[in-house]
Amino acid sequence: MKTKSIDFLAELEKRERWIASYLKSKEFEEWFYPAHLKEAVYSYVNRSGKRLRPAVLLLSCGAVGGKEEEAVPAAAAVEMFHTWTLVHDDLIDNDERRRGGLTVHAQSSKLAQQQMNYPENQAKDYGRHIAILAGDVQQGWAVSLLCDCSLKGDLDPRVTLTLIRMLESYVLNTLVSGETLDIQFSKQAIESLEPERILDMLWRKTGALYEYAAKAGAMIGLNSTHADDRRIVALSNFTSRCGTAFQLQDDILGIIGDEKQLGKPVGSDIREGKRTTIIYYAFKNATLEQKARLKSVLGNSEATREQIDQIRQLLIELGGVSETKRLAEQIIQKARTELDVLEDSSYKQLLLAWADFMIARNF
């Protein structure tokens, strides 16, 4: 198991390099203008990330006998699609940091102050506007990358069109509905939370795009529009489940993670009042006094560092973190069995290691 996991990280990094170098190629550089917009568009691309979505797309392509290199534009597309959602979500959540640097809106606002002498409030608006436009442009970039599978590569144009339509209707609408529910839930009474509704929201926010990544990889590997092929179904069910578990782990790291390793602040979920399963389980086990303490800090944008730390401790003590951890593990176990229909191969082994990594990671 240990050697497998070391191999896995090397394999992951190899694919991360393919995607990063594809996205940074000269052709695209000329697309974005003026300078601040370009800087915003490339901001997260230029920082190291896990690139778990493109990785699983490539591995799924390989697992059905396809050539991974032919799926690189599609893998880059899925990464870029994920990136624009980060840019807009960071703006919506008013987060300051991502991948070890400033978020796009915070960075653009800083540029307006430093380079254009904007007063603070105007610089804030400017930063927000650039972040909206940068995300818009990145969505288009993602779609353009998919087009290239057929316009530059040999993929059947009908497969590419099917993939574009699936991404831009089913996946996009599912994902945005999840983000909207997340926003709405954060203002609803904690007592009204049900784990099923939280898991549905998490799946929408995260599972749907992971499901798509595997489906796209497998359809490209088979050069087929038959999404009901049993290997395609197995792979997309597998990543769909893993995606939800990934988000549970994200919520856990948002409470117990290390800020340096994560590259973003721990505790901001508490300040934003995110309704996670951690909150649900902790609240279930809490006394009246503890419930009152939780309520006074969750969603309180003015909460102090000390208050946040106390609530983090309380969420751990009340079993919110451990029960969420258990739930994530169960989901991954179930997901792994989906791959039984695949023949044994190094790709299958890498996919299983990928699944374990989704919840073992600490960044």
Binding site for a copy of itself (CB under 8 A): 31-34, 36-37, 84, 88, 91-92, 116, 118, 122, 126, 129-130, 132-133, 135-137, 139-141, 143-144, 147-148, 150-151, 157-158, 160-162, 164-165, 167-169, 172-173, 176-177, 179-181, 183-184, 187
Q: Give dist(CA 108, CA 100) in Å, integer.
A: 16
Q: Which is nearer to a copy of itself, 178 or 217 (CB)?
A: 178
Q: Which two tokens stand for residue 217?
A: 């990889």
Both tokens of residue 329? Answer: 């593990």
Q: Which is nearer to a copy of itself, 108 or 244 (CB)?
A: 108
Rounded CA-CA distance 239/57 in Å is 10
Give least dist CB 157 to a copy of itself, A. 4
- Nearest C-alpha neighbor of 249 from the set 140, 324, 160, 153: 324
The neighbour count for residue 193, using CB atoms within 10 Å, is 18
Nearer to a copy of itself, 183 or 233 (CB): 183
- Amino acid symbol at 224: S
CB of 86 to a copy of itself, least distance (A): 13
In the complex, the smallest distance separating the C-beta of residue 75 from a copy of itself, rounded to whole angstroms, is 18
Q: Would you say 184 or 296 has its CB closer to a copy of itself?
A: 184
Smallest distance, Å, CB 6 to a copy of itself?
39
Reported as type and span, the H/E element at residue 97 is: strand 97-98
Q: Judged by CB, which is closer to a copy of itself: 12, or 80?
A: 80
Between 20 and 130, whose beta carbon lies closer to a copy of itself?
A: 130
CB 31, min distance to a copy of itself, A: 5
CB of 327 within 8 A of CB of 333?
A: no
Name the minimum Å distance from CB 123 to a copy of itself.
10
Whichever of 77 and 351 has its CB closer to a copy of itself, that residue is: 77
For 176, the 3-state DSSP assignment is helix
DSSP-based three-state secondary structure for 47: coil
Q: Closest separation between CB of residue 16 and a copy of itself, Å?
A: 24
d(CA 112, CA 215): 42
CB 342 within 8 A of CB 65: no
> Residue 5 and residue 2: Cα distance in Å, rounded?
5
d(CA 270, CA 301): 9
The least distance separating a copy of itself from the CB of residue 108, rounded to whole angstroms, comes to: 10
Taking Cα atoms as reference points, which of 289, 290, 347 lies closest to residue 314?
290
Helix pair angle (208-222, 52-63), 10° resolution: 30
Q: Residue 68 gets which letter from DSSP?
A: G
Give 31 or 363: the residue with its C-beta nearer to a copy of itself.
Answer: 31
